[in-house]
Amino acid sequence: MKKLICSIILSLVIVGFSTAQENRLKNLVYIQYANLSGEVSFGGHFNGNGYSLGYSRYIGDRIYGDFNIGAYHFAGEGSWVFELKEEEKTYWNMNQWSLGVGYDLVREQKLTVSGELAFLKLSNVLVDEIRTSGDEITFRSTRKIDDKTLLANIKGRYHLSDNWMAMATLGYGFGIQRYKSTHLRLGIGYNF
């Protein structure tokens, strides 16, 4: 799966750079501050703050492919699986990537509003098992879990110049496996 994703990304980048002169401004790279929050199917909720990096490539007049990766510092409550020790709460303890397609719904001189549908994968560390004897913990283990779902985004881009833009993204993860999530991202992008 990782090889397939790397191949797709590499293909988008190669095609983007090789045709950049004839298809001016078809590529977009961006960085965004991100807030991710959600509910867990087995109980509890979480919230995370971090950053995401992305690359988009237009494959038609209004249709584009989009890849995004992000890292978050998340904390959860409402379930024993979120009871991490301080040394387990590393600053970047949740990461995500998404791969999808978008369509420009509104395109004006300064403003572009797009809808996106993507595959989303979230990974984070949770408490896997706790065994107790009275009030004393006798065994405790953690593991990294993955959550895969669909993500729907609305992305707004305000063009500051021919190449630079301010961006805002609001997304919803459908919770097919574990996490129903809400994503809010603000940042800047560069078209080339």
User: What pLDDT shows up at residue 5?
Assistant: 57
> What one-character-per-residue DSSP string does 163-182 give?
SEEEEEEEEEEE-SSSEEEE
**Residue closest to 120 by CA, chosen among 46, 56, 66, 169:** 66
Higher pLDDT, residue 192 or 126: 192
> CA 148: distance to chain centroid?
11
Name the pTM for this structure. Answer: 0.79
Residue 20 in this model has a pLDDT that exceeds 50: no
Query: What is the band of 22 on the pLDDT scale with cuts at 50, 70, 90?
Result: very low
Residue 30 in this model has a pLDDT that exceeds 60: yes
User: What pLDDT shows up at residue 19?
Assistant: 47
Higher pLDDT, residue 79 or 179: 179
| Average pLDDT of span 41-45 | 85
Token digits for 7?
């191949």
Average pLDDT, the chain: 86
User: For the chain, which domains are there?
Assistant: 36-191 (2.40.160.20)
Residue 106 in this model has a pLDDT that exceeds 80: yes
